Amino acid sequence: MTLMLTRVIRNLPITSSWAVRFSARPLSFSSQLQSPVQAKSKKTLAKPGVKNVVVVDGVRTPFLLSGTSYIDLMPHDLARASLQGLLDRTSISTEAVDYIIYGTVIQEVKTSNVAREAALGAGFSNKTPAHTVTMACISSNQAMTSAVGLIASGQCDVVVAGGVEFMSDVPIRHSRKMRKAMLTLNRAKSTGQKLAIVAKIRPDFFTPELPAVAEFSTSETMGHSADRLCAAFGISRVEQDEYALRSHTLAKKAQDEGFLSDVIPYKVPGKETVTKDNGIRPSSMEQMAKLRPAFIKPHGTVTAANSSFLTDGASAVLLMSEEKALAMGYKPKAYLRDFVYVSQDPKDQLLLGPTYATPKVLEKAGLTLADIDVFEFHEAFAGQILSNLKAMGSDWFAENYMGRKTKVGVPPLEKFNKWGGSLSLGHPFGATGVRLVMAAAHRLKNEGGQYALVAACAAGGQGHGIIVEMYPQ
């Protein structure tokens, strides 16, 4: 294994000093699971003069591998289905909703404000405002916290937040040369001018432009960055496969035991009714070991088996002020409390958002890591999760890169993503945040906890963390 990692490192453009340190002195993953025991604080996180924002309920369509049952739909179809499912689940009237916010990453040009189009399609009043936000993989997180701001400030009492992503049909453009030629042709007045423009069109003009998969600022794909991160932190291929297998195994167990209660059935027009996620596929270490590296070849460690897959899906959550929810007769599931957004170096720390977000949001809430009963972290890659755990367990990393005197601390695995995660359930970019929050709320109730921490990384070297508090039973 040491020889393999040495070869990996030699083939990777590692530019950071911490990469050399961690690969030279790898920390065993098991050693990262020991966190100092601290006294728990079970205070409420309500703040004087600030409205409590509650989660009434949330739903999501089944998350499906792109190119499967949803292939003939459009993004707004799934977003509309999530809104209709939320209306059915909560029995709230469309007139009671003050505002709708959705997150998405790759926009369909026909429905650039997918929140508005989905709302109209779901039967909401044309007088209900709706807008769409984008913040890479934390887009629906941004939708939710934007809703929190509207409610906490008193601007709204009832807001629906959600997200949608549709990878089965992404916008593919003509090349820039062809676009320029077509626009020039459109402005031409005479037949002669038009023929002259057409005569200049060359075969390479017809090469299409696909949506970018690389970071604009670094020209590096997220998978390539994940591979470098694993080499930097000494995360082996075996460790990544083990974690991915854990995710699929836990997700299958949760699905079989009925814990994924936020999933609503969706009748695909002209096809069957989809009732569950279709990417959950527990395998074996032997089968996973057969896959070749997906990004850095031939010695990379990130493969299709230990990466999240392209996914179609949508989610929605009903948020209210506590007073409004109680006045309408609802029993909320949870409070949304303090939250933070962070940014860091997109070259060498692209996927370390949770490491930076965790201490900030805990300090903002007046909590410690030991106070957290439930952890729900977005799993972009198994190696991304394991690298974050190593970074969080390192005093050296905390001191040299985070400006902190001591390490963040490592979440215990028995509290971590117990119902699977994005590796197994799927990751529709714009919809994952709501899934994480609903999983946290449901797990708090199921496990008798009080506080949950939701955290996620995102393209551009950004991240998010939010505290979810159990609503009193």
Position 5 pLDDT exceeds 60: no
Per-residue pLDDT tens over the stretch 411-461 = 999 999 999 999 999 999 999 999 999 999 999 999 999 999 999 999 999
Q: Clarify whether 156 is annotated catalytic.
A: no
Q: Clarify whether 457 is annotated catalytic.
A: yes
CB within 8 A of 473, min separation 6: which ones? 445
- Over range 355-360, report the average pLDDT: 99
Position 104 pLDDT exceeds 80: yes
- Over range 55-78, report the average pLDDT: 99
Per-residue pLDDT tens over the stretch 360-384 = 999 999 999 999 999 999 999 999 9
Residue 22 has a pLDDT of 56
Helix H or strand E encompassing 383: helix 382-392
Q: Tell how far CA 243 is from the center of its chain.
A: 18
- What backbone phi and psi angles, to 5 degrees, belong to 385? -60, -50
**Alpha-carbon distance values, 268 to 136, 203, 240, 276, 442 (Å):** 27, 39, 35, 13, 27
- Over range 249-266, report the average pLDDT: 99
Sorting pLDDT into bands at 50, 70 and 90, what band is 399? very high
**Alpha-carbon distance values, 9 to 51, 142, 228, 234, 290 (Å):** 51, 36, 8, 9, 21
**Identity of the amino acid at 228:** R
Say which residue the tokens 């972009």 belong to.
Answer: 380
CA distance 444 to 87: 24
**Alpha-carbon distance values, 255 to 65, 260, 263, 408 (Å):** 16, 6, 10, 32
Mapping DSSP onto H, E and C, the string for 278-308 reads: CCCCCCCHHHHHCCCCCCCCCCCCCCCCCEC
Per-residue pLDDT tens over the stretch 220-240 = 999 999 999 999 999 999 999
CA distance 152 to 271: 42
Position 191 pLDDT exceeds 70: yes
- Catalytic residue, chosen from 55, 137, 305, 455, is 137
Q: Which of 194, 142, 185, 162 is nearest to 78 (CA)?
A: 162
Q: Which of 466, 457, 291 is nearest to 385 (CA)?
A: 457
CA within 13 Å, CB half, 86? 34
Say which residue the tokens 């990469």 belong to.
Answer: 19
Q: Which of 418, 269, 326 is nearest to 52 (CA)?
A: 326
- Catalytic residue, chosen from 457, 467, 468, 470, is 457
Q: Which of 346, 326, 372 is nearest to 466 (CA)?
A: 372
Residue 213 has a pLDDT of 78
CA distance 161 to 65: 23
- Cα-Cα-Cα-Cα torsion 437, 442, 447, 449, nearest 10 degrees, comes to 50
Helix H or strand E encompassing 336: strand 334-343
Helices (H), 131-221: 139-152, 176-187, 191-199
CA distance 215 to 226: 13
- Count of Cβ atoms closer than 10 Å to residue 415 Cβ: 17
Position 167 pLDDT exceeds 90: yes
Both tokens of 359, joined, read: 């201490």
| Max CA pair span of the chain | 82
Please answer whether residues 236 and 293 qualify as being in contact, where contact means their C-beta atoms are separated by less than 8 angstroms.
Answer: no
Both tokens of 292, joined, read: 């070749």
Identify the weakest region by mean pLDDT among 36-45, 173-182, 342-351: 36-45
CB within 8 A of 429, min separation 6: which ones? 104, 105, 106, 136, 137, 139, 163, 165
Per-residue pLDDT tens over the stretch 452-466 = 999 999 999 999 999
- Over range 349-365, report the average pLDDT: 99
Please answer whether residues 468 and 454 qualify as being in contact, where contact means their C-beta atoms are separated by less than 8 angstroms.
Answer: yes
Residue 162 has a pLDDT of 99
Mean pLDDT of the chain: 92
Please answer whether residues 313 and 61 qualify as being in contact, where contact means their C-beta atoms are separated by less than 8 angstroms.
Answer: yes
- Over range 200-214, report the average pLDDT: 88
Please answer whether residues 124 and 275 qualify as being in contact, where contact means their C-beta atoms are separated by less than 8 angstroms.
Answer: no
